[in-house]
């Protein structure tokens, strides 16, 4: 059974296991500390979800309204590396885009990702705004992408 629910502090270990399963291809080990900080603070204040399958956390991701009031940023979305290609990331991304569309005044969804997942997000209509070679770490380029909702 698959369940999507709000992140709780006791989910940290499960979310870190997801991060670790996606390192070093999708995340650099140097980003882990930032994710820990996010889980301790923003994940408790912003809409951040976990996906459970049979009681195990298999995905997580959230979004936040940006200070400009017209953009929503997707943050720290990931699925267990061994479960890629099973539709969990699609469900997570569709839910976050739907939440952005339901937020009054929001005109676009933004995210930063790598060359490894930019194609996944392009299928939802995201377009590259800027590409920074080695922007996250050596071998992990940063792709700043936007989905215009208007």
Average pLDDT on 1-29 reads 94
- Sheet with strand 108-113: strands edge to edge: 2-6, 48-53, 56-65, 71-79, 108-113, 140-148, 127-137
Integer Cα distance of 40 and 105 in angstroms: 28
Q: How confident is the model at residue 69 (pLDDT cuts 50, 70, 90)?
A: very high
Contact 146, 127 (CB under 8 A): yes
Q: Which helix (H) or strand (E) holds 77?
A: strand 71-79
Other CB atoms closer than 10 Å to residue 77's CB: what's the count?
Answer: 22
Backbone dihedral region for residue 139 (phi beyond 0: left; psi -120 to 50: alpha; all else: beta): left
pLDDT for 75 equals 95
| pLDDT tens-digit map of 41-67 | 999 988 999 999 999 999 999 999 999
Angle (CA) 48-96-98 rounded to 5° is 140
Left (φ > 0), alpha (ψ -120 to 50) or beta: where does 110 sit?
beta
**Per-residue pLDDT tens for 87-98?**
999 999 999 999
Can you tell me the distance from the alpha carbon of 50 to that of 113, in angstroms, rounded to the nearest whole number?
A: 19
- φ/ψ bin of 144: left (φ > 0), alpha (ψ from -120 to 50), beta (otherwise): beta
Kindly tell me if the per-residue pLDDT of 76 is higher than 90.
yes
CA distance 150 to 143: 22
pTM for the whole structure: 0.89
């Amino acid at each position: 059974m698959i369940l999507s629910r709000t992140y709780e502090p006791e989910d940290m270990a499960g979310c870190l296991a997801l991060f670790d399963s996606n390192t070093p291809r999708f995340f650099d080990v140097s980003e882990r500390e930032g994710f820990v900080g996010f889980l301790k603070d923003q994940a408790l204040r912003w809409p951040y979800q976990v996906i459970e399958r049979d009681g195990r956390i298999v995905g997580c991701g959230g979004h936040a309204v940006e200070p400009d009031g017209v953009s929503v940023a997707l943050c720290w979305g990931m699925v267990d590396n061994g479960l890629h290609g099973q539709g969990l990331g699609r469900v997570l991304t569709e839910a976050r885009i739907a939440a952005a569309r339901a937020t009054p005044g929001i005109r676009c969804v933004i995210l930063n990702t790598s060359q490894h997942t930019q194609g996944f997000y392009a299928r939802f209509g995201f377009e590259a705004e800027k590409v920074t070679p080695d922007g996250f770490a050596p071998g992990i380029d940063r792709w700043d992408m936007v989905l215009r909702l208007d």
